[in-house]
Structure 1
Amino acid sequence: MRLEDSGKTIRTRQLEGQEYKETLTKKLQEVVDGYSSTKENRESLTRLADMMEVIHELTYTHGATIEEIEHIRQHRRKERGGFKTRTLLIEVEE
C-alpha cells in the first residue's frame, strides 16, 4: 500500500540538484545502518531492495544508467576479484 493511500495526511516537497543528491546519500546511509541491525532474513532482503532503489536514483543523478554501473561492477570484479570466495584481502605490498 502506498503511503498516500493509507488515509494519513502527508506533506511533501520536491528536491532538485545537489539537495536531491545529498538527500539520497543520507538515505543510503540510513538504509545501510538499518540493514546492519536487521535480524530476520526477510527484513534484510527488504533493506537490500531499499539500497538498490537509492543506488538506482543516485546512478541517474550522475547521468548514468544501471547498465553502466553493472558494467563497471563486472569490470572491477574481474580486475580486483569479488566476494564469492569469501576471501579477505589483508594487505598488498608494493
Structure 2
Amino acid sequence: MPTYNKLVRDKIPQIIESKGKEFSTKILNDEDYIKYLKEKAYEELDECCAAETDGEAVEELADLLEVVRALSKQHGSTIEEVEAVRKDKAEKRGGFQDKMFLIEVKD
C-alpha cells in the first residue's frame, strides 16, 4: 500500500473508499495544517511550472488558489481581503502585465 503523508482535498477519502480501497487519515492540528498547506503550495506551484499546456497550467493554478484560500483563512483573513491587499500593492507598485525584467541598478 503506497504511503503519501500529505494534505489532500476533503473528498479524497470518499473517492478512495468508492474504489473499494482501504486508507488511513488523521486530522491535523492548526500548526501542522499550516505547515502542510505551505508544502502543498510548493507542490501545486511545481506542478504549474511543469504544466505543458495552458489547460494543465490553469488546473494547477486553480489548485494553488484553493491552497491560498485555505491559508488566508488560517491566518484570520479571507480571499477577498487578500485580493484587496493585492490590489493595493498593484496600485502602489504595479503588477506584472508589462513583463518588466530588471537587469541591474547602478549606484
TM-score by length of 1: 0.87
Structure 1 alignment gaps of length 5 or more: none
Query: How far, CA to CA, are the matches of 1:45 and 1:64 in structure 2?
Result: 24
SS in 2 for 1:73: helix
2:65 corresponds in structure 1 to 52
Distance 1:86 1:62, change over 3 A: same
Number of aligned positions between the proteins = 93
List per-residue Cα deviations over 1:51-79 (Å, max 9, x = no partner): 00000000011000111100000000011
1:1-94 to structure 2, matched below 5 A, reads 3=12, 4-5=14-15, 6-7=18-19, 8-91=21-104
Structure 2 alignment gaps of length 5 or more: 1-10
Q: What is the one-letter code of the residue matched to 1:82?
A: G
| Most deviating of 72-81 and 31-40 | 31-40
Displacement of 1:32 after TM fit? 0.6
Query: How far, CA to CA, are the matches of 2:60 and 2:72 in structure 1?
Result: 18
Displacement of 1:10 after TM fit? 2.7
TM-score by length of 2: 0.77
Displacement of 1:9 after TM fit? 2.4
Query: How far, CA to CA, are the matches of 1:90 and 1:72 in structure 2?
Result: 27
Give the alignment's Cα RMSD to 1 decimal: 1.7
Judging by fraction of residues, say which structure has more helix.
1
Q: What is the one-letter code of the residue matched to 1:30?
A: E
